[in-house]
Amino acid sequence: MSTLNVGLVQHACSGDLQQNLAKSIEGITDAAENGAKLVVLQELHRSLYFCQVESTDLFDLAEPIPGPSTELFGALAKELGIVIVTSLFEKRAPGLYHNTAVVLESDGSIAGKYRKMHIPDDPGFYEKFYFTPGDMGFEPIQTSVGKLGILVCWDQWFPEAARLMAMSGAELLIYPTAIGWNPDDDEAEQNRQRDAWVTIQRSHAIANGLPVVAVNRVGHEADPAGGPGTEFWGTSFVAGPQGEFLFEADTESELSVVVPVDLARSESVRRWWPYLRDRRVDHYGDLLKLYRD
């Protein structure tokens, strides 16, 4: 297929796991009813973004893969005849956890998974406490709707990750995300941060000649430790292979939307702008160094 209808589900989360699940299911179902063949959920959509604090009790949110969520979303994918990209807190073994995106095929099976490679550790985003860095590399996942380059949130700031997915044949770059503002920052700083987030991902689309799908949550989530919490800025979007906006959500709305994406356009764009042809791999060895002195 040339044109792929991609569904994006952007919503707020609460401490009620069943309510969050109901929102995700409603968004997926609505997207499928409006023609989506691929639906992407936001990062860690089952719960509040728990990484604002470090608490060993919160490891109880994790689950195995396969497990309850993959069974549920797999059954939903099969019922609706679509591919679903979920984002789960994976319990791999006692004491070993990952931030993992899972792709459910339209027959209900697990097409593949991706374990988040770049793990942040910043105020309000203490992910290194919870997640072991991924060990599966940057490998696209083959599905009935195309070869999907799945990356997760903090990965979106690293051009190397997008490039390696593109070099492995990804037809689409997908970023489930949970990112927001510190409410104490002034409006100018908040806008700079959001604009940077959008710009870096559009640049991955341009540099690799691929469409990009980014799905983020909305709403304020309080800091259990008493800090300002995080105001998630939404702005889920789809960009074409020249970075052009095909869709952009606002910063507050809960929504389920379907965006047509022309996968065949990447071939034309790469012929016009042959970045992959003109790379000088014979002079890029220093990219493997931590810092070039």
The secondary structure of residue 229, as a DSSP letter, is -
Catalytic option among 13, 23, 43, 231: 43
24 near 9, Cβ under 8 Å? yes
The string over 191-211, giving b where at least 16 C-beta atoms fall within 10 Å of a residue's C-beta and e elsewhere, is eeebeebbeebbebbbbbbbb
- CA distances to 17, 154, 218 from 230, in Å: 19, 16, 10
Catalytic option among 51, 113, 116, 171: 116
37 near 83, Cβ under 8 Å? yes
Catalytic option among 153, 171, 221, 231: 153
Q: What does the CA dihedral 136, 48, 43, 240 come to, rounded to 10 degrees?
A: -160
Is 13 annotated as catalytic?
A: no
269 near 171, Cβ under 8 Å? no
Q: How far apart are CA 239 and CA 276, in angstroms?
A: 19
Q: How far apart are CA 198 and CA 256, in angstroms?
A: 19
Is 43 annotated as catalytic?
A: yes
Positions annotated as catalytic residues are 43, 116, 153
